[in-house]
Chain A
């Protein structure tokens, strides 16, 4: 289980901080696509972790 502690910590931290995603709505100073860019980054991180796991299991 210790392998997943960092991931659990990040997910829980992300859960607590996630309301910040809503701030862009109606705010012209913030790009409307900002939440999607952050989300895309998260997908890229997961993809990297998945590739790493595949290499580990080889």
Chain B
């Protein structure tokens, strides 16, 4: 097979142009989001695990170890099969703390920037051989197809285009963690390499062989000897290979990034637990077919890895193998470059040169990363050209996988052993790395003889070097990690990080106060590290994510804001630098305030994770919710305050009473509550004895009387704080006051009845004397005076009788007369009586009642009503005031109105105007009984009273309208009949 170089060049460049086209299509929204965000896209993107090794290295391994090549696929499948216990916990940590690489995760867990740097350097050295494989296979494939000596240059050209793609579509600061474009392109690459592999398998089975039966015949015949001669892997070696690929599946930098930083959700990751193994199964299936097909056509194959090119002379078979290899290599190179550049930036560059407050921080970081992307890919090409071509794909790949496996003990300790500490982890890792470098990596570079390993009794003499190095390096790593961790001290920071990372984590967030008092302070403080623009953007971004406003002051909200900013900065610069910046510029206040657990935060986390709880945990959570609802819906106001005065609960009843929603105040301090709650709650908190009964407060314009109870939360498991119950006793207080008032009225009534009785006798005497006076004189003036005295004494008698009647429960003192009463006459009488008083002489009274209106009733009592109304009107008017009496009829009733232009009636008095003892006059000037008696009298007359203050169309004054039944001719006859009966 010999193809023109230009054809291969065009094929390769055409394929890479297709990737650019796909990237542009996704970028510009030409591909629907439901496709780019489909879980299958994520699974296919995870297929980047199947690198050029899967296309070529697996065939080479199959030729050397038979089905041993399956370890590459089954190891990864096993890792995803364990997704619920292995990958999901890692995903939880990486998403919570915005950790995008293995170095980020280790630096976060072991609270050391140097751990991150160590893991980054290890990744860099370990991944170089894998990167070299990708470049080398490209170069070899071009050479196989064309025989050209410029294959290395062509590979470099492809590397340049791949680097350009990575820079253009991958190296960017997206505030959305997931790169849809990148994932979609990787998914397309996975589809292409899968199609290529399945196509090659189909060619092998139906083109080279004549179908499955022909294959079986070959396996039983000519192929049998060749197969039987294939050495088998020892069981221990197989298991070790399986372990290496298991670790590689989620710890290789590019795979860690895709698995955790790019995953949509936990559900997507769990779905990949069967879809990725299915993808790998389909990728693995054609491998033996390709090898057998090649073997059936060529007795000896010079380089087993490229068997696909040997099995057929047709150029398009080679082109298919080339395309599959290019798809696998380009995807792996792009992702390795992106992942490694991020790690080197965060854990080497930024650690060596921390970011300063600069205006173009984002741009500076972006260009640094782009430079690193290009450097990594060029480094891969240099490694392939200088080192890779002297070694087989198997030895290069295994060297990479054994190197990354050194992180496996640390990863397992991170998840399952909170006792592991930084010293143990670093010592173990360095021990393992030294063994790996010495046993596998340096021999690649310097062609030095493979060193003799100690503990040979445990390992067969003829075992391959990778096997011995894996065992010895991991053993050293694990032993050092355990021993050093057990005998050295673990820092407090490490302990809390260990809790956060542990699978059975009990995350106890603390309620520590911050130096910054508002969200606005965050920007000012952060600007010292990030510059004004970046600080404002980061704070605004965190506020938006948390749905908080820039005016936020609640300590709880500020703590969440700090955590979010740290997580966001961690995604930008790595956890070490982010933690340093946040610790330095947004520090906690270390005063003497008690530090307790952040219960509200714990609750919100539990709510978020609720659907994932199972078994006993779910039952316990159900119980917690039940108790919480009991408190939330308690018909009595309830709030819980921590020892640091932070509000932990504010139930529904209290929200209704106070008009303050729980959501707006939970997490804030007591002193930041609206008045009068800080004082009120403070008084009960500091009171030596509770309850505090009927505390008078004004809430939203109304007076309330609240009773407050307090219970201090104490005990063995208590997290401190106080529970306060707030009972609304306003109604009870009002009823109590009414009761006291009623009792006062009753006693006054009794007193009034007694006084009336005592007054009755002298009044009778006065009346008799006035009668005598009439008989004893003919002087008209004296006679008139005697008449007036008698009229007045009669009026006094009536008033006294009314008072007695009122005191006896409002019963009328006698039957109501039904004689016709002229309203004009009564008005005249009342005016006459009013004029007797010496006050109000300059008030103008006008009687505008028509002559012909007569109502049914008692003239004396109606006069009493009118006198009271005129008296009140006169008192309300100023000098030169005017009072108008008018009357009219409407249907069967007459209206009788007194209108003044005085000061009117205050709204507060209007509702209880007719209650006894209601008066607006100064003490001693009014009894408050006048209108009450008038009301009673009009009621007895089957009438009603309307009050308008001010009257319609007038700016001031009062109009009191009495409605009384008109006198009818039938009334007298009816009355006569009643009397006869």
Tell me if B615 and A22 are in contact (CB < 8 A).
Answer: no
Tell me if A3 and B81 are in contact (CB < 8 A).
Answer: no
Tell me if B239 and A18 are in contact (CB < 8 A).
Answer: yes
The CA-CA distance from A28 to B239 in the complex, in Å, is 25
The answer, among B82, B228, B235, for a CB contact under 8 Å with A11, is B82
The CA-CA distance from A47 to B81 in the complex, in Å, is 10
Tell me if B239 and A43 are in contact (CB < 8 A).
Answer: no
The CA-CA distance from A26 to B67 in the complex, in Å, is 10
Tell me if A50 and B270 are in contact (CB < 8 A).
Answer: yes
Which of B66, B270, B274, B612 has the most chain A CB within a 10 Å cutoff? B274
| Contact partners of B244 in chain A: CB under 8 A | none
Contact with B along A15-53 (1 / 0, CB 8 A): 110110110111010001101100110110011001001
Tell me if B281 and A43 are in contact (CB < 8 A).
Answer: yes
Tell me if A26 and B66 are in contact (CB < 8 A).
Answer: yes
Tell me if B68 and A22 are in contact (CB < 8 A).
Answer: yes
In the assembled complex, the CB of A1 is this many whole angstroms from the nearest CB of chain B, namely: 7
In the assembled complex, the CB of B532 is this many whole angstroms from the nearest CB of chain A, namely: 45
Indicate whether A4 reaches chain B with its CB closer than 8 angstroms.
Answer: yes
In the assembled complex, the CB of A8 is this many whole angstroms from the nearest CB of chain B, namely: 7
Stretch at the interface among B46-54, B168-176, B219-227, B921-929: B219-227
Tell me if B612 and A21 are in contact (CB < 8 A).
Answer: no
A21-B67, A26-B228, A28-B224 are known contacts. Are A46 and B81 too (CB-CB below 8 A)?
Answer: yes
Which of A7, A19, A21, A50 has the most chain B CB within a 10 Å cutoff? A19
Closest-by-CB residue of A relative to B238 is: A19
Tell me if B503 and A1 are in contact (CB < 8 A).
Answer: yes
Stretch at the interface among B70-78, B443-451, B638-646: B70-78
Indicate whether B850 reaches chain A with its CB closer than 8 angstroms.
Answer: no
The CA-CA distance from A8 to B736 in the complex, in Å, is 71
| Contact partners of B230 in chain A: CB under 8 A | 25-26
The CA-CA distance from A45 to B67 in the complex, in Å, is 22
The CA-CA distance from A22 to B614 in the complex, in Å, is 39
Indicate whether B750 reaches chain A with its CB closer than 8 angstroms.
Answer: no
Indicate whether B288 reaches chain A with its CB closer than 8 angstroms.
Answer: yes
Indicate whether B285 reaches chain A with its CB closer than 8 angstroms.
Answer: yes
The answer, among B84, B219, B232, B504, for a CB contact under 8 Å with A28, is B219
The A-contacting residues of B in range 190-242, CB under 8 angstroms, are 215-216, 219-220, 224, 227-228, 230, 232-233, 235, 238-239, 242
Tell me if A26 and B224 are in contact (CB < 8 A).
Answer: yes
The answer, among A4, A39, A56, for a CB contact under 8 Å with B281, is A39
Indicate whether B965 reaches chain A with its CB closer than 8 angstroms.
Answer: no
Indicate whether B271 reaches chain A with its CB closer than 8 angstroms.
Answer: yes
Tell me if B227 and A25 are in contact (CB < 8 A).
Answer: yes
The CA-CA distance from A31 to B825 in the complex, in Å, is 128
| Contact partners of A1 in chain B: CB under 8 A | 85, 503-504
Closest-by-CB residue of B relative to A19 is: B235
A4-B84, A46-B273 are known contacts. Are A15 and B78 too (CB-CB below 8 A)?
Answer: yes
| Contact partners of B235 in chain A: CB under 8 A | 19
The A-contacting residues of B in range 382-436, CB under 8 angstroms, are none
| Contact partners of A32 in chain B: CB under 8 A | 215-216, 219, 288
Tell me if A24 and B74 are in contact (CB < 8 A).
Answer: no
Tell me if A39 and B74 are in contact (CB < 8 A).
Answer: yes
| Contact partners of B70 in chain A: CB under 8 A | 21-22, 35, 39
Tell me if B78 and A11 are in contact (CB < 8 A).
Answer: yes
| Contact partners of B66 in chain A: CB under 8 A | 22, 25-26
Tell me if A53 and B270 are in contact (CB < 8 A).
Answer: yes
| Contact partners of B74 in chain A: CB under 8 A | 18, 21, 39
Indicate whether B278 reaches chain A with its CB closer than 8 angstroms.
Answer: yes
The CA-CA distance from A40 to B70 in the complex, in Å, is 13
Closest-by-CB residue of B relative to A22 is: B67
- Interface residue range, chain B: 35 or more
The CA-CA distance from A47 to B68 in the complex, in Å, is 25
Closest-by-CB residue of B relative to A16 is: B239
The A-contacting residues of B in range 267-310, CB under 8 angstroms, are 270-271, 273-274, 277-278, 281, 284-285, 288
Which of B81, B220, B224, B503 has the most chain A CB within a 10 Å cutoff? B81
A1-B503, A47-B274, A50-B274 are known contacts. Are A25 and B67 too (CB-CB below 8 A)?
Answer: yes
Tell me if A46 and B219 are in contact (CB < 8 A).
Answer: no
Tell me if B78 and A40 are in contact (CB < 8 A).
Answer: no
Tell me if A19 and B239 are in contact (CB < 8 A).
Answer: yes
Closest-by-CB residue of A relative to B271 is: A50
The CA-CA distance from A14 to B82 in the complex, in Å, is 12
| Contact partners of A18 in chain B: CB under 8 A | 74, 238-239, 242
| Contact partners of B503 in chain A: CB under 8 A | 1
| Contact partners of A22 in chain B: CB under 8 A | 65-68, 70, 232-233, 238
The CA-CA distance from A5 to B741 in the complex, in Å, is 75
Contact with A along B609-639 (1 / 0, CB 8 A): 0011011000000000000000000000000
The CA-CA distance from A20 to B85 in the complex, in Å, is 26
Tell me if A36 and B281 are in contact (CB < 8 A).
Answer: yes
| Contact partners of A4 in chain B: CB under 8 A | 84-85
In the assembled complex, the CB of A6 is this many whole angstroms from the nearest CB of chain B, namely: 12
Tell me if B277 and A43 are in contact (CB < 8 A).
Answer: yes
The A-contacting residues of B in range 236-264, CB under 8 angstroms, are 238-239, 242
| Contact partners of B67 in chain A: CB under 8 A | 21-22, 24-25, 35
Contact with A along B502-542 (1 / 0, CB 8 A): 01100000000000000000000000000000000000000
Which of B220, B238, B271 has the most chain A CB within a 10 Å cutoff? B238
| Contact partners of A24 in chain B: CB under 8 A | 67
Closest-by-CB residue of A relative to B267 is: A54
| Contact partners of B504 in chain A: CB under 8 A | 1
The answer, among B78, B227, B612, for a CB contact under 8 Å with A57, is B612
Closest-by-CB residue of B relative to A58 is: B611
Closest-by-CB residue of B relative to A44 is: B274
The A-contacting residues of B in range 594-619, CB under 8 angstroms, are 611-612, 614-615
In the assembled complex, the CB of B419 is this many whole angstroms from the nearest CB of chain A, namely: 17
Tell me if B228 and A7 are in contact (CB < 8 A).
Answer: no
The CA-CA distance from A33 to B77 in the complex, in Å, is 18
In the assembled complex, the CB of B800 is this many whole angstroms from the nearest CB of chain A, namely: 84
Tell me if A50 and B273 are in contact (CB < 8 A).
Answer: yes
Which of B67, B224, B273, B278 has the most chain A CB within a 10 Å cutoff? B67
The CA-CA distance from A21 to B81 in the complex, in Å, is 18
The CA-CA distance from A36 to B67 in the complex, in Å, is 10
Closest-by-CB residue of A relative to B68 is: A22
Tell me if B219 and A57 are in contact (CB < 8 A).
Answer: no
| Contact partners of B84 in chain A: CB under 8 A | 4, 7, 53
In the assembled complex, the CB of B485 is this many whole angstroms from the nearest CB of chain A, namely: 22
The answer, among A16, A25, A40, A50, for a CB contact under 8 Å with B232, is A25
| Contact partners of B614 in chain A: CB under 8 A | 3, 56
Tell me if B277 and A46 are in contact (CB < 8 A).
Answer: yes
In the assembled complex, the CB of B278 is this many whole angstroms from the nearest CB of chain A, namely: 5
Tell me if A36 and B239 are in contact (CB < 8 A).
Answer: no
A25-B232, A26-B227 are known contacts. Are A42 and B277 too (CB-CB below 8 A)?
Answer: yes
Closest-by-CB residue of A relative to B616 is: A2
Closest-by-CB residue of B relative to A31 is: B216
In the assembled complex, the CB of A19 is this many whole angstroms from the nearest CB of chain B, namely: 4
In the assembled complex, the CB of A34 is this many whole angstroms from the nearest CB of chain B, namely: 9
| Contact partners of B65 in chain A: CB under 8 A | 22
| Contact partners of A3 in chain B: CB under 8 A | 614-615
A19-B239, A36-B285 are known contacts. Are A11 and B81 too (CB-CB below 8 A)?
Answer: yes
The 9 closest A-B pairs by CB, nearest first: A26-B227, A25-B66, A19-B235, A46-B274, A28-B220, A22-B67, A47-B274, A26-B228, A25-B67
In addition to A15-B78, A40-B281, A46-B274, 15 A-B residue pairs with Cβ atoms within 8 Å of each other are A3-B614, A18-B239, A18-B242, A21-B70, A22-B65, A22-B232, A22-B233, A25-B66, A25-B232, A26-B228, A26-B230, A32-B288, A35-B70, A42-B77, A43-B277
18 contacts between A and B (CB under 8 A): A1-B504, A3-B615, A11-B78, A15-B242, A18-B242, A22-B68, A22-B232, A25-B227, A25-B288, A28-B220, A32-B215, A39-B281, A42-B277, A43-B274, A46-B273, A47-B274, A50-B274, A56-B614
Interface residues of A (CB under 8 A from B): 1-4, 7-8, 11, 14-16, 18-19, 21-22, 24-26, 28, 32-33, 35-36, 39-40, 42-43, 46-47, 50, 53, 56-57
